[in-house]
Homo-oligomer: A and B are copies of this chain.
Amino acid sequence: MKIEIITIGDEILIGQIVDTNSAWMGKEVNLLGWEIVRITTVPDDSAEIKQAFDSAFTRADIILVTGGTGPTKDDVTKNVLLEYFGGKLIFREDIKDNIEQIFANRNITLNELTLSQAYVPDNATVLMNKAGTAPCTCFEKEGKLLVSMAGVPSEMKWLMSNEVLPMLIKRFGDNAAVIHSTFLVKNYSESALAEKLASLEKELTPEFKLAYLPQPGIVRLRLTGRSSDKSDLEKKTEAYCGKIRNLIGNDIFSEKDLPVEILVGNSLKKLGVSLSTAESCTGGNIAHLITEIAGSSEYFKGSVVAYSNEVKHNVLRVSSESLDLYGAVSEQVVNEMLTGVSSVCKTECAVATSGIAGPGGGSAEKPVGTVWIGAKYRDRYLIRLYKFGNIREYNISKASNMALLMLLELLNE
Binding site for B on A (CB under 8 A): 12-20, 22-30, 35-43, 48, 52, 55, 106, 211, 213, 276-277, 279, 282-288, 290-292, 294-297, 300-308, 310-311, 314-315, 344-346, 357-361, 389-390, 392-393, 396
Contact = CB atoms under 8 A, between A and B. Distances in A.
Given A303-B303, A305-B303, A311 B14 contact: no
A251 to B, nearest CB: 22
- Number of identical protomers: 2
Contacts of A23: 12, 15-19
Contact of A283 (B17, B48, B290, B307): B290
Contact of A360 (B14, B27, B294): B294
A173 to B, nearest CB: 19
Contacts of A41: 22, 38-40
B40 A27 contact: no
B13 A26 contact: yes
Contacts of A359: 294
A28 B16 contact: no
Given A106-B389, A300-B307, 11 more contacts: A12-B26, A13-B26, A13-B38, A13-B39, A18-B18, A40-B41, A291-B307, A295-B360, A302-B304, A302-B308, A304-B315
The residue in A277, A288, A392 that gathers the most chain B C-beta atoms within 10 A of its C-beta is: A288
Contacts of A14: 26-27, 30, 36
8 closest cross-chain pairs (CB), A and B: A283-B291, A284-B287, A15-B27, A15-B26, A284-B284, A302-B311, A303-B305, A39-B41
A169 to B, nearest CB: 18
A159 to B, nearest CB: 17
A15 B38 contact: no
Contact of A37 (B28, B43, B284, B286): B43
28 contacts: A12-B39, A14-B36, A15-B26, A15-B27, A15-B30, A19-B23, A38-B42, A38-B48, A40-B40, A55-B55, A277-B284, A279-B284, A283-B291, A283-B296, A284-B287, A284-B303, A285-B291, A291-B396, A292-B393, A292-B396, A301-B310, A302-B311, A303-B303, A304-B304, A304-B315, A305-B305, A310-B346, A314-B345
A40 B43 contact: no
